[in-house]
Amino acid sequence: MSKSRRTRRDFLKAAGIGAAAIVQSGCGERRRPGARIMGGPSKDAVREPARDVPVVYACDICVIGGGSAGVFAAVRAARLGAKVALVENNGFFGGVATAAKVNVWHSLFDTAGRAKIIGGLTEEVVGRLDRRNAVILTESSRSRYAVFNTFEMMIELDELVREHANIRPFLHARFVAAAKKAGRMTHAIIEDKSGRRAIEAAYFIDATGDGDVIDRLGLPFTKNDDLQPPTTCLFLYGLDGVKDSNSAFSLGQVVYDSRYANALKRGFLWYSEAVNMPGALMVAGTRVSGADCSDADQLTRAEMEGRRQARCIRDIVHDNFKGAEAVSIVGLSSCIGVRETRHAVCLHRLTEKEVLGGVRFADAVANGSYRVDVHHSDKPGLTFRYLDGTEVYLVPGREPVAGRWRPPQEQNPTFYQIPYRSLVPRGSKNVLVTGRLVDADRGAFGAVRVMVNGNQTGEAVGAACCLALRSGSNVADVDVRKLRDTLAEGGSVVI
Ligand SMILES: Cc1cc2nc3c(=O)[nH]c(=O)nc-3n(C[C@H](O)[C@H](O)[C@H](O)COP(=O)(O)OP(=O)(O)OC[C@H]3O[C@@H](n4cnc5c(N)ncnc54)[C@H](O)[C@@H]3O)c2cc1C
Protein backbone atom coordinates (compact mmCIF):
# COMPACT_ATOMS: atom_id res chain seq x y z
CA MET A 1 0.00 0.00 0.00
CA SER A 2 2.63 2.49 1.06
CA LYS A 3 4.67 1.60 -2.03
CA SER A 4 1.78 2.17 -4.38
CA ARG A 5 0.98 5.43 -2.64
CA ARG A 6 4.52 6.59 -3.03
CA THR A 7 4.42 5.66 -6.70
CA ARG A 8 1.16 7.51 -7.18
CA ARG A 9 2.53 10.64 -5.45
CA ASP A 10 5.65 10.40 -7.56
CA PHE A 11 3.80 10.49 -10.85
CA LEU A 12 1.42 13.18 -9.66
CA LYS A 13 4.48 15.22 -8.84
CA ALA A 14 6.02 14.39 -12.20
CA ALA A 15 2.78 15.50 -13.84
CA GLY A 16 3.10 18.82 -12.01
CA ILE A 17 0.19 18.24 -9.61
CA GLY A 18 0.83 19.92 -6.26
CA ALA A 19 0.43 17.52 -3.33
CA ALA A 20 -1.80 20.15 -1.72
CA ALA A 21 -4.42 19.74 -4.41
CA ILE A 22 -4.97 16.00 -3.94
CA VAL A 23 -5.78 14.06 -0.81
CA GLN A 24 -5.77 10.29 -0.79
CA SER A 25 -8.84 8.63 0.63
CA GLY A 26 -9.71 4.98 1.06
CA CYS A 27 -11.53 4.85 -2.23
CA GLY A 28 -9.61 7.16 -4.50
CA GLU A 29 -8.75 10.83 -4.66
CA ARG A 30 -10.73 13.72 -3.34
CA ARG A 31 -10.11 17.35 -3.94
CA ARG A 32 -9.49 19.57 -0.92
CA PRO A 33 -12.06 22.31 -0.52
CA GLY A 34 -10.86 25.29 -2.49
CA ALA A 35 -8.50 23.30 -4.70
CA ARG A 36 -8.65 24.27 -8.35
CA ILE A 37 -11.18 22.28 -10.38
CA MET A 38 -9.71 20.35 -13.30
CA GLY A 39 -10.80 20.93 -16.86
CA GLY A 40 -11.16 24.16 -18.78
CA PRO A 41 -8.02 26.19 -19.21
CA SER A 42 -6.00 24.52 -16.42
CA LYS A 43 -2.59 23.14 -17.41
CA ASP A 44 -2.81 20.61 -14.59
CA ALA A 45 -3.49 16.96 -15.22
CA VAL A 46 -3.84 13.80 -13.20
CA ARG A 47 -2.13 10.76 -14.63
CA GLU A 48 -4.18 7.66 -13.93
CA PRO A 49 -2.22 4.55 -13.06
CA ALA A 50 -2.13 1.95 -15.82
CA ARG A 51 -4.61 -0.81 -15.13
CA ASP A 52 -5.99 -3.95 -16.68
CA VAL A 53 -9.61 -3.67 -17.75
CA PRO A 54 -11.57 -6.95 -17.61
CA VAL A 55 -13.09 -8.08 -20.91
CA VAL A 56 -16.69 -8.63 -19.92
CA TYR A 57 -17.97 -9.80 -23.29
CA ALA A 58 -16.54 -10.95 -26.62
CA CYS A 59 -18.79 -10.73 -29.67
CA ASP A 60 -18.94 -10.18 -33.42
CA ILE A 61 -20.36 -6.66 -33.49
CA CYS A 62 -20.46 -3.98 -30.83
CA VAL A 63 -22.96 -1.17 -31.37
CA ILE A 64 -22.23 1.92 -29.29
CA GLY A 65 -25.24 4.18 -28.78
CA GLY A 66 -28.78 2.84 -28.43
CA GLY A 67 -30.84 5.47 -30.23
CA SER A 68 -33.27 3.99 -32.73
CA ALA A 69 -30.47 3.82 -35.35
CA GLY A 70 -28.22 1.91 -32.94
CA VAL A 71 -30.99 -0.45 -31.83
CA PHE A 72 -31.92 -1.18 -35.43
CA ALA A 73 -28.25 -1.83 -36.30
CA ALA A 74 -28.07 -4.35 -33.46
CA VAL A 75 -31.36 -6.04 -34.34
CA ARG A 76 -30.49 -6.33 -38.04
CA ALA A 77 -27.11 -7.84 -37.21
CA ALA A 78 -28.67 -10.23 -34.70
CA ARG A 79 -31.28 -11.37 -37.22
CA LEU A 80 -28.43 -12.20 -39.57
CA GLY A 81 -26.92 -14.44 -36.89
CA ALA A 82 -24.27 -12.19 -35.34
CA LYS A 83 -23.47 -12.08 -31.63
CA VAL A 84 -23.99 -8.44 -30.70
CA ALA A 85 -23.32 -6.04 -27.81
CA LEU A 86 -25.47 -2.91 -27.56
CA VAL A 87 -24.10 -0.15 -25.32
CA GLU A 88 -26.28 2.76 -24.20
CA ASN A 89 -25.51 5.61 -21.84
CA ASN A 90 -29.12 6.01 -20.68
CA GLY A 91 -31.14 3.45 -18.75
CA PHE A 92 -33.29 2.87 -21.85
CA PHE A 93 -33.04 2.82 -25.62
CA GLY A 94 -34.36 5.28 -28.20
CA GLY A 95 -32.09 8.32 -27.91
CA VAL A 96 -33.82 11.46 -29.14
CA ALA A 97 -37.08 9.51 -29.70
CA THR A 98 -37.38 8.64 -26.01
CA ALA A 99 -34.88 10.59 -23.91
CA ALA A 100 -35.55 13.86 -25.72
CA LYS A 101 -39.29 13.09 -26.26
CA VAL A 102 -39.24 13.84 -30.01
CA ASN A 103 -42.28 11.82 -31.02
CA VAL A 104 -42.59 12.14 -34.81
CA TRP A 105 -41.41 9.69 -37.47
CA HIS A 106 -41.87 11.14 -40.91
CA SER A 107 -43.35 9.62 -44.03
CA LEU A 108 -42.45 6.14 -45.27
CA PHE A 109 -43.69 7.21 -48.72
CA ASP A 110 -42.27 9.33 -51.52
CA THR A 111 -43.31 12.98 -51.84
CA ALA A 112 -46.16 12.02 -54.16
CA GLY A 113 -47.48 9.80 -51.37
CA ARG A 114 -47.75 6.86 -53.77
CA ALA A 115 -44.65 4.68 -53.54
CA LYS A 116 -43.44 3.19 -50.27
CA ILE A 117 -39.75 4.03 -49.98
CA ILE A 118 -39.09 2.98 -46.37
CA GLY A 119 -39.91 -0.37 -44.78
CA GLY A 120 -37.78 -2.57 -42.54
CA LEU A 121 -37.69 -2.06 -38.80
CA THR A 122 -39.18 1.44 -38.97
CA GLU A 123 -42.37 0.04 -40.47
CA GLU A 124 -42.27 -2.93 -38.10
CA VAL A 125 -42.00 -0.73 -34.99
CA VAL A 126 -44.74 1.65 -36.18
CA GLY A 127 -46.94 -1.44 -36.66
CA ARG A 128 -46.08 -2.76 -33.21
CA LEU A 129 -46.92 0.60 -31.61
CA ASP A 130 -50.12 0.77 -33.63
CA ARG A 131 -51.22 -2.57 -32.15
CA ARG A 132 -50.84 -0.94 -28.73
CA ASN A 133 -52.79 2.15 -29.81
CA ALA A 134 -49.61 4.09 -29.15
CA VAL A 135 -49.26 5.80 -32.50
CA ILE A 136 -51.32 8.26 -34.53
CA LEU A 137 -50.87 8.14 -38.29
CA THR A 138 -51.40 11.64 -39.62
CA GLU A 139 -51.64 13.12 -43.08
CA SER A 140 -50.80 16.76 -43.86
CA SER A 141 -50.83 18.58 -47.19
CA ARG A 142 -47.17 17.77 -47.78
CA SER A 143 -46.60 14.39 -46.09
CA ARG A 144 -47.87 11.60 -43.85
CA TYR A 145 -46.20 10.91 -40.56
CA ALA A 146 -46.49 8.89 -37.36
CA VAL A 147 -46.78 10.52 -33.94
CA PHE A 148 -46.02 8.03 -31.17
CA ASN A 149 -46.16 7.62 -27.42
CA THR A 150 -42.50 8.03 -26.41
CA PHE A 151 -42.95 5.89 -23.27
CA GLU A 152 -44.44 3.02 -25.25
CA MET A 153 -41.59 3.43 -27.76
CA MET A 154 -39.12 3.02 -24.92
CA ILE A 155 -40.70 -0.26 -23.81
CA GLU A 156 -41.19 -1.51 -27.40
CA LEU A 157 -37.48 -1.06 -28.10
CA ASP A 158 -36.75 -3.11 -24.95
CA GLU A 159 -39.04 -5.83 -26.30
CA LEU A 160 -37.36 -5.74 -29.70
CA VAL A 161 -33.93 -6.16 -28.10
CA ARG A 162 -35.16 -8.82 -25.66
CA GLU A 163 -36.53 -10.93 -28.53
CA HIS A 164 -32.97 -11.46 -29.76
CA ALA A 165 -31.03 -13.72 -27.40
CA ASN A 166 -27.84 -12.94 -29.32
CA ILE A 167 -27.94 -9.24 -28.33
CA ARG A 168 -26.42 -8.42 -24.97
CA PRO A 169 -27.65 -5.01 -23.86
CA PHE A 170 -25.54 -2.76 -21.63
CA LEU A 171 -27.60 0.08 -20.15
CA HIS A 172 -26.26 2.93 -18.02
CA ALA A 173 -23.00 2.12 -19.81
CA ARG A 174 -20.95 4.93 -21.26
CA PHE A 175 -18.36 4.28 -23.93
CA VAL A 176 -15.21 6.09 -22.78
CA ALA A 177 -12.27 4.78 -24.79
CA ALA A 178 -11.25 2.56 -27.66
CA ALA A 179 -8.43 0.03 -27.78
CA LYS A 180 -6.90 -0.65 -31.19
CA LYS A 181 -4.26 -2.85 -32.76
CA ALA A 182 -2.82 -2.70 -36.26
CA GLY A 183 -5.29 0.02 -37.24
CA ARG A 184 -8.33 -1.98 -36.13
CA MET A 185 -10.49 -1.20 -33.14
CA THR A 186 -10.35 -4.23 -30.82
CA HIS A 187 -12.27 -3.19 -27.70
CA ALA A 188 -14.80 -0.65 -26.55
CA ILE A 189 -14.02 0.44 -23.01
CA ILE A 190 -17.14 1.29 -21.05
CA GLU A 191 -17.81 2.70 -17.59
CA ASP A 192 -20.90 1.43 -15.84
CA LYS A 193 -22.08 0.63 -12.32
CA SER A 194 -19.61 -2.25 -12.18
CA GLY A 195 -16.66 -0.02 -13.04
CA ARG A 196 -14.51 0.09 -16.13
CA ARG A 197 -15.01 -2.88 -18.47
CA ALA A 198 -14.10 -3.83 -22.02
CA ILE A 199 -16.13 -5.35 -24.84
CA GLU A 200 -14.17 -7.18 -27.52
CA ALA A 201 -15.60 -7.29 -31.04
CA ALA A 202 -14.59 -7.83 -34.64
CA TYR A 203 -16.61 -4.81 -35.87
CA PHE A 204 -17.92 -1.67 -34.20
CA ILE A 205 -20.70 0.75 -35.03
CA ASP A 206 -20.60 4.34 -33.80
CA ALA A 207 -24.26 5.16 -33.16
CA THR A 208 -23.58 7.79 -30.49
CA GLY A 209 -24.81 10.67 -32.66
CA ASP A 210 -21.88 12.72 -31.37
CA GLY A 211 -19.19 10.46 -32.83
CA ASP A 212 -17.62 9.61 -29.48
CA VAL A 213 -16.10 6.46 -30.98
CA ILE A 214 -14.56 8.02 -34.08
CA ASP A 215 -13.30 10.88 -31.92
CA ARG A 216 -11.55 8.57 -29.42
CA LEU A 217 -10.19 6.43 -32.26
CA GLY A 218 -8.75 9.41 -34.10
CA LEU A 219 -10.87 8.87 -37.21
CA PRO A 220 -11.58 12.12 -39.10
CA PHE A 221 -14.64 14.26 -38.43
CA THR A 222 -15.85 17.77 -39.16
CA LYS A 223 -18.06 20.20 -37.29
CA ASN A 224 -20.04 22.96 -38.95
CA ASP A 225 -19.39 26.50 -37.68
CA ASP A 226 -23.09 27.14 -37.21
CA LEU A 227 -24.38 23.98 -35.55
CA GLN A 228 -28.14 23.49 -35.54
CA PRO A 229 -29.27 24.42 -32.00
CA PRO A 230 -30.31 21.79 -29.43
CA THR A 231 -33.81 21.83 -27.94
CA THR A 232 -35.36 20.68 -24.67
CA CYS A 233 -38.85 19.31 -25.35
CA LEU A 234 -41.66 19.33 -22.84
CA PHE A 235 -45.16 17.97 -22.45
CA LEU A 236 -47.38 20.95 -21.69
CA TYR A 237 -50.83 20.36 -20.26
CA GLY A 238 -53.84 22.65 -20.11
CA LEU A 239 -53.72 24.69 -23.31
CA ASP A 240 -57.31 23.78 -24.22
CA GLY A 241 -58.62 26.15 -21.53
CA VAL A 242 -56.41 28.95 -22.88
CA LYS A 243 -57.58 28.44 -26.46
CA ASP A 244 -61.23 28.39 -25.32
CA SER A 245 -60.79 31.76 -23.60
CA ASN A 246 -58.48 33.42 -26.18
CA SER A 247 -59.54 32.69 -29.74
CA ALA A 248 -56.42 34.18 -31.35
CA PHE A 249 -54.00 32.43 -28.98
CA SER A 250 -50.89 31.08 -30.71
CA LEU A 251 -48.27 29.34 -28.57
CA GLY A 252 -45.74 29.72 -31.37
CA GLN A 253 -46.06 33.51 -31.12
CA VAL A 254 -46.61 34.32 -27.48
CA VAL A 255 -43.42 32.71 -26.23
CA TYR A 256 -41.40 35.21 -28.31
CA ASP A 257 -43.52 38.25 -27.44
CA SER A 258 -41.10 40.82 -26.04
CA ARG A 259 -43.84 42.30 -23.84
CA TYR A 260 -43.13 39.42 -21.46
CA ALA A 261 -39.95 39.76 -19.43
CA ASN A 262 -39.25 36.03 -19.76
CA ALA A 263 -39.89 35.88 -23.53
CA LEU A 264 -37.58 33.57 -25.46
CA LYS A 265 -35.18 34.84 -28.07
CA ARG A 266 -36.89 34.47 -31.44
CA GLY A 267 -36.45 30.94 -32.70
CA PHE A 268 -38.99 28.40 -33.85
CA LEU A 269 -41.65 26.50 -31.94
CA TRP A 270 -43.54 23.45 -33.12
CA TYR A 271 -45.72 21.00 -31.26
CA SER A 272 -47.44 17.72 -31.82
CA GLU A 273 -50.07 15.68 -30.10
CA ALA A 274 -48.90 13.91 -26.94
CA VAL A 275 -50.22 10.46 -27.76
CA ASN A 276 -52.40 8.91 -25.00
CA MET A 277 -52.08 12.09 -22.88
CA PRO A 278 -55.37 13.96 -23.35
CA GLY A 279 -55.01 17.71 -22.91
CA ALA A 280 -51.23 17.70 -23.37
CA LEU A 281 -48.97 18.66 -26.27
CA MET A 282 -45.34 17.79 -26.97
CA VAL A 283 -43.75 21.21 -27.40
CA ALA A 284 -40.37 21.77 -29.08
CA GLY A 285 -39.80 25.49 -28.69
CA THR A 286 -36.64 26.04 -26.69
CA ARG A 287 -33.32 26.41 -28.46
CA VAL A 288 -29.86 26.96 -27.12
CA SER A 289 -28.10 28.73 -29.95
CA GLY A 290 -24.38 28.31 -30.33
CA ALA A 291 -24.09 25.29 -28.01
CA ASP A 292 -21.74 22.51 -29.11
CA CYS A 293 -23.13 19.55 -27.18
CA SER A 294 -20.07 17.39 -27.88
CA ASP A 295 -18.25 19.68 -25.43
CA ALA A 296 -18.96 18.58 -21.85
CA ASP A 297 -19.16 22.08 -20.35
CA GLN A 298 -21.32 23.46 -23.14
CA LEU A 299 -23.60 20.43 -22.83
CA THR A 300 -24.03 21.08 -19.10
CA ARG A 301 -24.94 24.70 -19.73
CA ALA A 302 -27.27 23.75 -22.61
CA GLU A 303 -29.16 21.25 -20.43
CA MET A 304 -29.82 23.87 -17.76
CA GLU A 305 -30.62 26.64 -20.23
CA GLY A 306 -33.02 24.37 -22.13
CA ARG A 307 -34.93 23.59 -18.94
CA ARG A 308 -34.96 27.28 -17.97
CA GLN A 309 -36.54 28.08 -21.32
CA ALA A 310 -39.07 25.24 -20.88
CA ARG A 311 -40.21 26.89 -17.67
CA CYS A 312 -40.46 30.27 -19.46
CA ILE A 313 -42.84 28.71 -21.99
CA ARG A 314 -45.08 27.41 -19.22
CA ASP A 315 -44.92 30.63 -17.18
CA ILE A 316 -45.62 32.97 -20.10
CA VAL A 317 -48.85 31.13 -20.81
CA HIS A 318 -49.81 30.42 -17.22
CA ASP A 319 -49.17 33.94 -15.92
CA ASN A 320 -50.63 35.99 -18.77
CA PHE A 321 -53.68 34.28 -20.21
CA LYS A 322 -57.22 33.68 -19.14
CA GLY A 323 -58.11 30.02 -18.65
CA ALA A 324 -54.48 29.08 -18.04
CA GLU A 325 -54.74 28.04 -14.38
CA ALA A 326 -54.14 24.38 -15.23
CA VAL A 327 -51.22 24.96 -17.59
CA SER A 328 -48.31 22.90 -16.33
CA ILE A 329 -45.27 20.92 -17.40
CA VAL A 330 -46.24 17.25 -17.13
CA GLY A 331 -43.18 15.78 -18.84
CA LEU A 332 -39.70 16.96 -19.73
CA SER A 333 -36.98 15.46 -21.88
CA SER A 334 -34.50 13.58 -19.74
CA CYS A 335 -31.73 15.08 -21.83
CA ILE A 336 -31.60 17.94 -24.27
CA GLY A 337 -32.34 16.97 -27.89
CA VAL A 338 -29.13 17.44 -29.86
CA ARG A 339 -29.54 18.15 -33.56
CA GLU A 340 -25.95 18.35 -34.66
CA THR A 341 -22.37 17.98 -33.44
CA ARG A 342 -19.65 15.97 -35.23
CA HIS A 343 -19.99 14.53 -38.72
CA ALA A 344 -17.82 11.60 -39.73
CA VAL A 345 -15.63 12.22 -42.76
CA CYS A 346 -16.58 9.28 -44.94
CA LEU A 347 -15.85 7.94 -48.40
CA HIS A 348 -18.63 10.14 -49.78
CA ARG A 349 -20.02 13.43 -48.49
CA LEU A 350 -23.69 13.62 -49.42
CA THR A 351 -24.56 17.07 -50.76
CA GLU A 352 -27.73 19.14 -50.71
CA LYS A 353 -27.56 19.16 -54.51
CA GLU A 354 -27.64 15.36 -54.56
CA VAL A 355 -30.50 15.23 -52.07
CA LEU A 356 -32.68 17.85 -53.75
CA GLY A 357 -31.82 16.45 -57.17
CA GLY A 358 -32.90 12.96 -56.10
CA VAL A 359 -29.57 11.50 -57.26
CA ARG A 360 -29.63 7.68 -57.34
CA PHE A 361 -26.61 5.76 -56.03
CA ALA A 362 -25.52 2.23 -56.93
CA ASP A 363 -24.72 1.69 -53.24
CA ALA A 364 -27.92 3.31 -51.91
CA VAL A 365 -28.93 1.82 -48.55
CA ALA A 366 -31.63 4.31 -47.50
CA ASN A 367 -34.33 6.39 -49.16
CA GLY A 368 -35.95 9.56 -47.87
CA SER A 369 -38.57 12.12 -48.71
CA TYR A 370 -38.30 14.48 -45.74
CA ARG A 371 -37.53 18.03 -46.91
CA VAL A 372 -34.28 19.90 -46.31
CA ASP A 373 -34.99 21.49 -42.92
CA VAL A 374 -32.33 23.82 -41.57
CA HIS A 375 -32.81 25.46 -38.16
CA HIS A 376 -30.86 28.67 -38.39
CA SER A 377 -28.48 29.45 -35.59
CA ASP A 378 -27.68 32.97 -36.82
CA LYS A 379 -31.25 34.22 -37.36
CA PRO A 380 -34.72 33.28 -36.17
CA GLY A 381 -36.75 30.53 -37.76
CA LEU A 382 -35.98 27.84 -40.26
CA THR A 383 -35.99 27.18 -43.96
CA PHE A 384 -37.63 24.22 -45.69
CA ARG A 385 -36.51 23.26 -49.19
CA TYR A 386 -38.57 20.73 -51.12
CA LEU A 387 -37.75 18.35 -53.95
CA ASP A 388 -40.27 20.13 -56.18
CA GLY A 389 -38.10 23.28 -56.23
CA THR A 390 -40.08 25.31 -53.69
CA GLU A 391 -38.86 26.72 -50.39
CA VAL A 392 -40.40 28.37 -47.34
CA TYR A 393 -38.77 30.56 -44.70
CA LEU A 394 -40.71 30.34 -41.45
CA VAL A 395 -40.43 32.75 -38.54
CA PRO A 396 -42.92 32.68 -35.66
CA GLY A 397 -45.33 35.58 -35.77
CA ARG A 398 -44.56 36.45 -39.39
CA GLU A 399 -46.14 35.36 -42.64
CA PRO A 400 -44.19 32.45 -44.18
CA VAL A 401 -41.98 33.60 -47.04
CA ALA A 402 -42.52 31.23 -49.95
CA GLY A 403 -40.20 31.07 -52.92
CA ARG A 404 -38.23 28.72 -55.10
CA TRP A 405 -34.68 27.46 -54.74
CA ARG A 406 -34.72 26.50 -58.44
CA PRO A 407 -36.98 27.21 -61.42
CA PRO A 408 -39.85 24.81 -62.12
CA GLN A 409 -39.07 21.76 -64.24
CA GLU A 410 -41.23 19.17 -65.94
CA GLN A 411 -40.50 16.33 -63.58
CA ASN A 412 -39.44 16.49 -59.96
CA PRO A 413 -37.71 13.75 -58.02
CA THR A 414 -39.95 12.25 -55.36
CA PHE A 415 -37.27 10.85 -53.06
CA TYR A 416 -33.54 10.92 -52.42
CA GLN A 417 -31.01 8.30 -51.38
CA ILE A 418 -28.16 7.81 -48.91
CA PRO A 419 -25.17 5.83 -50.18
CA TYR A 420 -23.34 3.25 -48.06
CA ARG A 421 -20.11 5.20 -48.63
CA SER A 422 -21.49 8.06 -46.49
CA LEU A 423 -21.39 5.67 -43.50
CA VAL A 424 -17.82 4.41 -43.99
CA PRO A 425 -15.32 6.69 -42.22
CA ARG A 426 -12.15 7.36 -44.19
CA GLY A 427 -9.31 5.21 -42.94
CA SER A 428 -11.61 2.87 -41.03
CA LYS A 429 -11.05 -0.88 -41.21
CA ASN A 430 -13.77 -2.18 -38.93
CA VAL A 431 -15.84 0.81 -37.74
CA LEU A 432 -18.99 2.20 -39.36
CA VAL A 433 -21.17 5.15 -38.39
CA THR A 434 -24.93 5.60 -38.42
CA GLY A 435 -27.74 8.01 -37.51
CA ARG A 436 -26.88 11.68 -37.52
CA LEU A 437 -23.17 10.89 -37.95
CA VAL A 438 -23.81 10.34 -41.66
CA ASP A 439 -21.39 12.39 -43.76
CA ALA A 440 -23.56 15.11 -45.29
CA ASP A 441 -23.14 18.81 -46.02
CA ARG A 442 -25.25 21.34 -44.17
CA GLY A 443 -28.26 21.22 -46.49
CA ALA A 444 -28.20 17.45 -47.03
CA PHE A 445 -27.90 16.94 -43.29
CA GLY A 446 -31.03 19.06 -42.80
CA ALA A 447 -32.94 16.31 -44.62
CA VAL A 448 -31.21 13.06 -43.81
CA ARG A 449 -30.91 13.61 -40.04
CA VAL A 450 -34.53 12.63 -39.35
CA MET A 451 -35.15 9.30 -37.68
CA VAL A 452 -36.84 7.40 -40.51
CA ASN A 453 -33.64 8.02 -42.49
CA GLY A 454 -31.25 7.35 -39.61
CA ASN A 455 -33.08 4.11 -38.83
CA GLN A 456 -32.36 2.77 -42.31
CA THR A 457 -28.68 3.65 -42.00
CA GLY A 458 -28.66 1.67 -38.75
CA GLU A 459 -30.07 -1.40 -40.47
CA ALA A 460 -27.58 -0.94 -43.31
CA VAL A 461 -24.48 -0.82 -41.11
CA GLY A 462 -25.72 -3.75 -39.00
CA ALA A 463 -26.07 -5.84 -42.17
CA ALA A 464 -22.79 -4.52 -43.62
CA CYS A 465 -20.85 -5.60 -40.53
CA CYS A 466 -22.33 -9.10 -40.86
CA LEU A 467 -21.21 -9.33 -44.48
CA ALA A 468 -17.75 -8.02 -43.60
CA LEU A 469 -17.59 -10.60 -40.81
CA ARG A 470 -18.46 -13.44 -43.17
CA SER A 471 -15.94 -12.41 -45.80
CA GLY A 472 -13.31 -11.20 -43.34
CA SER A 473 -13.12 -7.90 -45.21
CA ASN A 474 -12.70 -4.30 -44.20
CA VAL A 475 -15.90 -2.26 -44.03
CA ALA A 476 -14.95 -0.27 -47.15
CA ASP A 477 -14.77 -3.48 -49.17
CA VAL A 478 -18.25 -4.81 -48.42
CA ASP A 479 -19.96 -6.04 -51.60
CA VAL A 480 -22.69 -3.39 -51.93
CA ARG A 481 -24.81 -5.50 -54.25
CA LYS A 482 -24.91 -8.23 -51.64
CA LEU A 483 -25.61 -5.62 -48.98
CA ARG A 484 -28.60 -4.25 -50.86
CA ASP A 485 -29.89 -7.81 -51.47
CA THR A 486 -29.48 -8.64 -47.79
CA LEU A 487 -31.37 -5.49 -46.78
CA ALA A 488 -34.20 -6.28 -49.21
CA GLU A 489 -34.45 -9.85 -47.88
CA GLY A 490 -34.81 -8.42 -44.36
CA GLY A 491 -37.75 -6.19 -45.33
CA SER A 492 -36.05 -2.94 -46.35
CA VAL A 493 -37.23 -1.09 -49.43
CA VAL A 494 -34.25 -1.15 -51.79
CA ILE A 495 -34.53 0.95 -54.95
C1 LIG B 1 -35.61 18.87 -30.85
C2 LIG B 1 -35.43 17.96 -32.01
C3 LIG B 1 -36.50 17.75 -32.84
C4 LIG B 1 -36.37 16.85 -33.87
N5 LIG B 1 -37.47 16.58 -34.62
C6 LIG B 1 -37.47 15.47 -35.35
C7 LIG B 1 -38.67 14.91 -35.84
O8 LIG B 1 -39.75 15.48 -35.65
N9 LIG B 1 -38.60 13.74 -36.50
C10 LIG B 1 -37.41 13.11 -36.75
O11 LIG B 1 -37.40 12.04 -37.34
N12 LIG B 1 -36.26 13.63 -36.34
C13 LIG B 1 -36.25 14.77 -35.62
N14 LIG B 1 -35.09 15.25 -35.11
C15 LIG B 1 -33.80 14.66 -35.51
C16 LIG B 1 -33.57 13.28 -34.95
O17 LIG B 1 -34.29 13.08 -33.77
C18 LIG B 1 -32.10 12.98 -34.71
O19 LIG B 1 -31.31 13.43 -35.78
C20 LIG B 1 -31.91 11.48 -34.58
O21 LIG B 1 -32.68 11.01 -33.51
C22 LIG B 1 -30.48 11.14 -34.38
O23 LIG B 1 -30.43 9.77 -34.16
P24 LIG B 1 -29.13 9.08 -33.63
O25 LIG B 1 -29.47 7.65 -33.38
O26 LIG B 1 -27.98 9.38 -34.51
O27 LIG B 1 -28.83 9.84 -32.28
P28 LIG B 1 -29.59 9.78 -30.90
O29 LIG B 1 -31.03 9.58 -31.05
O30 LIG B 1 -29.11 10.97 -30.15
O31 LIG B 1 -28.99 8.45 -30.24
C32 LIG B 1 -27.67 8.37 -29.79
C33 LIG B 1 -27.64 7.47 -28.57
O34 LIG B 1 -26.29 7.24 -28.20
C35 LIG B 1 -26.15 7.35 -26.80
N36 LIG B 1 -24.77 7.76 -26.53
C37 LIG B 1 -24.18 8.92 -26.86
N38 LIG B 1 -22.90 8.92 -26.46
C39 LIG B 1 -22.69 7.72 -25.86
C40 LIG B 1 -21.56 7.11 -25.23
N41 LIG B 1 -20.38 7.76 -25.15
N42 LIG B 1 -21.69 5.87 -24.70
C43 LIG B 1 -22.88 5.22 -24.78
N44 LIG B 1 -23.98 5.75 -25.36
C45 LIG B 1 -23.88 6.97 -25.89
C46 LIG B 1 -27.17 8.42 -26.41
O47 LIG B 1 -27.53 8.28 -25.06
C48 LIG B 1 -28.32 8.11 -27.37
O49 LIG B 1 -29.24 7.20 -26.83
C50 LIG B 1 -35.15 16.19 -34.11
C51 LIG B 1 -34.05 16.43 -33.29
C52 LIG B 1 -34.19 17.30 -32.24
C53 LIG B 1 -33.03 17.49 -31.34
Q: Are 6 and 110 members of one domain?
A: no
Quick one: pLDDT at residue 378? 75
Measured between alpha carbons, how far is 213 from 215 in angstroms, rounded to an integer? 5
Alpha-carbon distance of 2 to 422, in angstroms, equals: 54
* Among 182-196, 291-305, 388-402, 454-468, the least confident range: 388-402
Q: Is the predicted pLDDT of residue 62 greater than 50, yes or no?
A: yes
Q: Which residues on adjacent β-strands are paired with residue 375?
A: 382
pLDDT at 12 over 90: no
Q: Is 412 within a domain?
A: no
Q: How far is the CA of 139 from the centre of ligand 1 (A)?
A: 24
| Cα R_g (the chain), whole angstroms | 24
Query: Which atom belonging to ligand 1 lies closest to the Cα atom of 449?
Result: 19
Taking the CA atoms of residue 378, residue 384, residue 390 and residue 393 in that order, the dihedral angle to the nearest 10 degrees is: -50
64 occurs within a structural domain? yes
Q: What is the pLDDT of residue 38?
A: 41
Count up the domains in the chain and report the number.
3
Cβ-based neighbour number of residue 72 at 10 Å = 31
Residues 196 and 100 in one domain: yes
CA-nearest residue for atom 38, ligand 1, is: 208
- Is pLDDT above 70 for 22? no
Structural domain contains residue 169: yes
d(CA 241, CA 279): 9
Please indicate, yes or no, whether residues 239 and 312 belong to a single structural domain of this protein.
yes
| Domain end position, chosen among 313, 332, 351 | 332
Q: Is the CB of 64 under 6 A from ligand 1?
A: yes
**Residue 128 sits in a domain of what CATH number?**
3.50.50.60
DSSP summary character for residue 11: H
At 42, is the pLDDT very low, low, confident or very high (cuts 50, 70, 90)? low
User: 62 with 204, same domain?
Assistant: yes
pLDDT greater than 60 at residue 21: no
Domain-located, residue 214: yes
Min mean pLDDT across 158-172, 325-339, 365-379 is at 365-379
pTM beyond 0.85:
yes
pLDDT band with cut points at 50, 70 and 90 for residue 180 = very high
351 lies in some domain: yes
Range of the domain at 455: 56-224+343-367+418-489
Decide whether any atom of ligand 1 lies within 6 Å of the 284 Cβ: yes
CA-nearest residue, atom 3 of ligand 1: 102
Which of 307, 332, 357 is the endpoint of a domain?
332
Same-domain status, 169 and 256? no
Q: What is the mean pLDDT of residues 461-489?
A: 98
Any ligand 1 atom below 6 A from CB of 175: yes
129 and 274 share a domain?
no
Q: Are residue 105 and residue 192 in the same domain, yes or no?
A: yes
What is the residue with the minimal CA distance to atom 4 of ligand 1?
102
pLDDT in tens, 351-364: 999 999 999 999 99
Residue 365, CA atoms < 13 Å, CB-side half-sphere: 33
Q: pLDDT at position 166, please?
A: 98
Q: Is the CB of 66 under 6 A from ligand 1?
A: yes
Is 96 touching ligand 1 by the criterion CB < 6 Å?
A: yes
Q: Is the pLDDT of residue 491 over 60?
A: yes
Lowest mean pLDDT among 228-232, 379-383, 467-471: 379-383
